[in-house]
Structure 1
Amino acid sequence: MNIDPVALLQGSDVMLLFTALGFGLLLGKLNLGGFQLGSTPGVLLAAITLGTWGFDLHVQTESLGFMLFIFCVGIEAGPNFFSNFVQDGVRFISIAVVVVLTALTATSVVAGLLGLDSGLAAGMLAGSLTSTPTLVGAQDAVNQQMAHLGAAERQAIFGQISVGYAITYLIGLLGILLVLRLLPSVLGLDPKDEARKLERARGMTSRRRRNVRTPILRAYRVSEDRERGGVGKSLGEIGLFQRSGLIVERVKRDGELLEPAPDLVIEPGDKVALVGFPINHARSEVDHDAEVYDPDLLEFRIDTADVVVGNPEVLGTPLADLDLETRYGCLIDGVTRAQVELPLSRSLTLNRGDVLRVSGERQRLEKFAGKIGVIEHASDVSDLMTFSFFFLGGLLVAQLGILVGDLRITLGNAGGLLLAGILLGFFRARNPMFGYIPQGAINMLKDLGLNIFMVSVGLAAGADILDALRDSGLAIVLGGVVVMLLPLLAGYLFGVLVLRMNPILLLGALTGAMTSTPALQALNEMSDSAVPALGYAGTYTFANVFLTIGGALIIML
């Protein structure tokens, strides 16, 4: 039996789609001299290659792909979008605004000078900023705001958007990485030193340099040495946690277990159970030779749970003010915001939807969780009903519009689904079991939707990319460099001269505003710190929303 691969791919959209996905993802995983292209660029290049060979999809798979992607982006943005950042909040939002406005202005000016059509301009903007939401917003604007055009005309604009994006995407990806690597050297900055300055100023502990953080329980007999053992002093006066990072979990005296209240006075012969991380036990002033193995003190379980911040009373509160260790007897080992792990800092203020990794005795842990929010209970079951109804609501909102003269302006599918996703994410932050979907499932839906969309974009671009490169390729490349570079420089100058931000925190914020995760990873390595993640998490959420709108504006203006 003879099998014709070309005929198979031409006759089956599903086979063509997954061929592009499979080979594209394989291409993205290849390691060439320490450099990995990444999944999205790999899929895009594979699809472009297939497109230049004449392959195309007969159904509009990009619609479902971009809808899933933008809806999941909204879900992840929701918990923080309506939060008021007390520390650095206005700064992060203003940086995102400056970067997006500079990018839109640069794109409009460059397109006007080089005579580029709106489709090429929108694609150039999306590619130069490596921003898929911009691409989604632009393509959706064509469907919604240019419905009066014929199908052939709209398809031509789609092709221009895809070509502009495909040509400039690698420019944006590599250009941002190059600028962020060179900028500190040009300005005479030491990324590691700048990160340490901020860590010291805010009492941060960088995740990249921390040891394994597993709390353990040990029991000791109190020394009769009044100075060393604290005999005659209350637990509050001793201040064990402030001195060593250890928490007094239980006290046993004459066979009786006592509540470790701050006013409890230590007596000779008392036994105490101490909870803390291994490094704190090792560095503590307790007499390790006096360790005891008492079942009453040691036989209880230390649980670890993810606690989602939701109580309005604690929003904007620094971690230090929670008095987590002495009031609740719990230890915190991590804070995640917008899927980005932040460096631990006593001055870090809480936002709605922040996830705190907390360890402690179960009842104490539940008491703490009840104070600030709820414990996130892991589950493999997804609430697809809520997911579906919010998705449907987004599509319905997309149909609403207002008339401005003869022009009907709507949010479009991208705007409607983004808004619906933000609302679902916001409500989930208040009650994590509402519309619960495991983060792994959200990641898969988002990645699958994005890469299906990339296949459609690449195949559409492949048919015209050679002609576009021949006719205006140099102009698009130069324009892409300008659109990539100016927002970075404008954002940096604004952050340094106006906001006076720490340079590494600022660079992290710029990677978020440019929606470049690879650049964040590079910054983390350069600074040997997680400080850049603090800036990235602050701007990324807003940049995604602003850039989705920006893509539509470039098409409409």
Structure 2
Amino acid sequence: MEIVENLFKGFPELWGGGVAHSVMILSLVITLGLCLGKLKVKGVSLGLAWILFTGLVFGHFSLNLDEHLLHFLKEFGLILFVYSIGLEVGPGFFSSFRRGGKALNGLVAIVIAISLVTAIAIFYISGSPITTIAGILSGAVTNTPGLGAAQQAYSDLRHIDAPTIASGYAVTYPMGVLGVIISFIILRFVLRIRREEEEKDAERGMGHLEDITLNTFSIEICNPAVDGATVKHVHDLLKRDFMISRIMRQNQNIKHEVVNGHTELHVGDTLLIVARPADQDPICALMGKLSDIDWNEQNSELISRRILITRSSINGKTIGQLKIRSQFGANITRVNRSGVDLVATSHLKLQMGDRVTVVGDELSISHVENMMGNSLKRLNDPNLIPIFLGIVLGCFLANVPFFIPGIPERLRLGLTGGPLIIAILMGYFGPKYNLVTYNTISANLMLRRFGLCIFLAGVGLGTGHDFVQTVVSESGLIWILYGLAITMIPILLGGIIGRYVFHINYFTLMGVLAGANTNPPALAYANEMTPSDTPSVGYSTVYPFAMFLRIVTIQILIFVFG
């Protein structure tokens, strides 16, 4: 019985209560939190936030860890979490601002600015400490990295911890999830959404996603002006990116032909084309009319296959440099990177983990497979060098001092901002300089979840002593009202601006607004509303920028008002 009591309370003769005590308490908090995270009410779950709530209960009953050990665990977990996010979003961070992503990310910036203005207004009106407001803001927008960034920034600024940051986060997080969903329902009626029309546009990819998604369609050439022209000549005329996956000649028995820039087009030919939705009408206007041919019924030796790039020698090379058409007689028609399809232009640089769609005969495709790897086993071997090297560089950047006018203190990016920026830069520039930064989605997710679980458990255990008193007091209810205001006002105003100023499709708009709050439960609700994947595409397009802004702006908030 004494052993059991010591495991929970700690061994008095050992530092920090002993390793067994510390590991057991931490693991127990995480296990119970993960189990509770499986619970759903009408499809909505608080997920990993339950780890924080479990830690608060343990902390309230003094089932705790040594404060120095707890501080280390929180910081270490936060670094792993933030760095893995940076590696994931890095490859698409800067490209998300191109074409259709500009307007979507612009709307995200507006939504985040409104949430900051709302929080600052509450700060001045209520007279609450900025640490409380920062915690309420983090919970209201369900942004856990923002919680860590606020704690780190205040610790760097005042050299003490602020428990009210975590308390404010925990109190407002549940309503932060529900508030976005309630706002979506309100917007549906305020904007007078006609669901069928919105779904038709969403399925076609129209709106701001038409520049960042791909459609596959067939065209029968009818324009005599194109007769005898080469594919390269048509490309030069249209000045748009598209790929011809297959061609079927009229009155010819040729069923096996790989298209390249020198291929001549003739009236009566039927083409299978991969292009952005925005480019479909101009292509049809030049070439001819849409065709409903079933390519699966055509007796052709050509096949289509997706190949996974797992060979490090391919990393950073352009499609043109590989000379796949001339060497193997095959074509790359599209590239899928982090869930987003890209047109396979000759100047597009390939990265480890890309999935390329290749068209050719069986022998040609087998040669392309050998060149690119297509080995899941190779990707399953985790690439740890960029992780630990990046963390080293992130720790250096975290401690580089800088100044903000009006603030006498030397400020630092801290252990949230430093590793995040390094990870984004390595994720984006790594492939350009042949540095392999790719890890499988499962490996990245495992690292991210592991770090987040440790961080949330540490935060809960460290602030649980005074949490219950805060919740049952009058101030707890007021915090919830503040959180609802910070959650719903930006979403409602952002929805109206996105609809009437940026003219964004409703289902895309829901994904973008969910991404602005980095809110997976809200995205799940949006996905249930439509069979199209436009909410997910909108979410993934703005998520990198939204996450970066949330982390940076809350640190500035602490630095300016703290």
Band the TM-score falls in, shorter-chain normalisation: 0.7 to 0.9
Distance (Å, rounded) in 1 between the aligned partners of 2:246 and 2:462? 61
* Map of 2:24 onto structure 1: 15
* Map of 1:195 onto structure 2: 199
Provide closer, same or farther for how the CA distance between residues 202 and 492 of structure 1 changes in structure 2, counting only shifts above 3 A: closer
* Map of 1:397 onto structure 2: 397
| Partner of residue 414 from structure 1, selected from 405, 416, 423 | 416
Gaps of 5+ in 2: 11-16, 216-226, 232-241, 267-271, 275-291
* Map of 1:174 onto structure 2: 178
Provide closer, same or farther for how the CA distance between residues 25 and 132 of structure 1 changes in structure 2, counting only shifts above 3 A: same
Superposed CA RMSD in Å reads 4.5
Contact 1:27–1:37 (8 Å) recurs in 2: no
Distance (Å, rounded) in 2 between the aligned partners of 1:188 and 1:56? 52
Q: CA deviation at 1:423?
A: 1.4
Distance (Å, rounded) in 2 between the aligned partners of 1:351 and 1:546? 27
Contact 1:428–1:436 (8 Å) recurs in 2: no
Q: CA deviation at 1:441?
A: 1.3
CA deviation string 1:400-455 (max 9, x = no partner): 11356741022112111111111121134437861342221111111111111111
| Partner of residue 85 from structure 1, selected from 75, 91, 97 | 97
Provide closer, same or farther for how the CA distance between residues 134 and 287 of structure 1 changes in structure 2, counting only shifts above 3 A: closer
Contact 2:118–2:486 (8 Å) recurs in 1: yes
Letter in 2 for 1:500: H
CA deviation string 1:451-504 (max 9, x = no partner): 111111222332111222215112211100100011112222221232222222
* Map of 1:538 onto structure 2: 541
Q: CA deviation at 1:170?
A: 0.5
Q: CA deviation at 1:550?
A: 1.8
Distance (Å, rounded) in 2 between the aligned partners of 1:403 and 1:245? 54
> Does the alignment pair 1:520 with 2:519?
no
Q: CA deviation at 1:89?
A: 2.2
CA deviation string 1:64-111 (max 9, x = no partner): 010111111111121122226332222122112111111111111112
Letter in 2 for 1:8: F
Q: CA deviation at 1:44?
A: 1.8
Contact 1:195–1:531 (8 Å) recurs in 2: no
> Does the alignment pair 1:131 with 2:133?
no
Distance (Å, rounded) in 2 between the aligned partners of 1:283 and 1:301? 16
Matches within 5 A, 1:483-494: 483-494=486-497
Distance (Å, rounded) in 2 between the aligned partners of 1:419 and 1:190? 41
Distance (Å, rounded) in 1 between the aligned partners of 2:482 and 2:350? 39
Matches within 5 A, 1:92-491: 92-147=104-159, 154-155=160-161, 157=162, 159-200=163-204, 202=206, 262=263, 284=294, 303-306=305-308, 328-329=330-331, 332=334, 335-337=336-338, 341-342=339-340, 355-361=354-360, 378=376, 379-403=379-403, 406-430=408-432, 434-469=436-471, 470-491=473-494
* Map of 1:43 onto structure 2: 51
Provide closer, same or farther for how the CA distance between residues 502 and 18 of structure 1 changes in structure 2, counting only shifts above 3 A: same
CA deviation string 1:159-202 (max 9, x = no partner): 11110000001010111122223421343213453132243364
Contact 1:336–1:355 (8 Å) recurs in 2: yes
Q: CA deviation at 1:49?
A: 1.8
Provide closer, same or farther for how the CA distance between residues 118 and 56 of structure 1 changes in structure 2, counting only shifts above 3 A: farther
Contact 2:111–2:494 (8 Å) recurs in 1: yes
CA deviation string 1:276-325 (max 9, x = no partner): 9xxxxx9638988xx6xxxxx86x986421469967899xxxxxxxx9xx
* Map of 1:24 onto structure 2: 33
Letter in 1 for 2:119: T
Distance (Å, rounded) in 1 between the aligned partners of 2:413 and 2:129? 23
Moved more, 424-433 or 65-74: 424-433
Contact 1:383–1:435 (8 Å) recurs in 2: yes
Moved more, 169-178 or 48-57: 48-57
* Map of 1:225 onto structure 2: none
Q: CA deviation at 1:25?
A: 0.5
Distance (Å, rounded) in 1 between the aligned partners of 2:106 and 2:534? 19
Distance (Å, rounded) in 2 between the aligned partners of 1:376 and 1:132? 36
Distance (Å, rounded) in 1 between the aligned partners of 2:118 and 2:255? 70
Distance (Å, rounded) in 2 between the aligned partners of 1:246 and 1:313? 18
Contact 1:342–1:533 (8 Å) recurs in 2: no
Distance (Å, rounded) in 1 between the aligned partners of 2:422 and 2:189? 43
Provide closer, same or farther for how the CA distance between residues 534 and 406 of structure 1 changes in structure 2, counting only shifts above 3 A: same
Q: Give the 3-state SS of the residue equivalent to 2:543 in structure 1.
A: helix
Contact 2:523–2:535 (8 Å) recurs in 1: yes
Provide closer, same or farther for how the CA distance between residues 343 and 264 of structure 1 changes in structure 2, counting only shifts above 3 A: closer
Q: CA deviation at 1:350?
A: 8.2
* Map of 2:238 onto structure 1: none
Provide closer, same or farther for how the CA distance between residues 329 and 388 of structure 1 changes in structure 2, counting only shifts above 3 A: closer
Gaps of 5+ in 1: 148-153, 211-232, 266-273, 277-281, 292-296, 315-322
Q: CA deviation at 1:524?
A: 1.4
Distance (Å, rounded) in 2 between the aligned partners of 1:377 and 1:427? 24
CA deviation string 1:236-293 (max 9, x = no partner): 99xxxx9x986669xx98xx9975564599xxxxxxxx9x9xxxxx9638988xx6xx
Provide closer, same or farther for how the CA distance between residues 302 and 125 of structure 1 changes in structure 2, counting only shifts above 3 A: same
Distance (Å, rounded) in 1 between the aligned partners of 2:465 and 2:432? 47
Matches within 5 A, 1:491-506: 491-506=494-509
Q: CA deviation at 1:552?
A: 1.1
Q: Identity of counterpart residues, as a percentage?
A: 26
Q: CA deviation at 1:117?
A: 1.0
* Count of aligned pairs between the two proteins: 479
Contact 2:246–2:257 (8 Å) recurs in 1: no
Provide closer, same or farther for how the CA distance between residues 368 and 126 of structure 1 changes in structure 2, counting only shifts above 3 A: farther
Q: CA deviation at 1:38?
A: 4.3
Letter in 1 for 2:155: N
Contact 1:73–1:446 (8 Å) recurs in 2: yes
* Map of 1:222 onto structure 2: none
* Map of 2:63 onto structure 1: 55
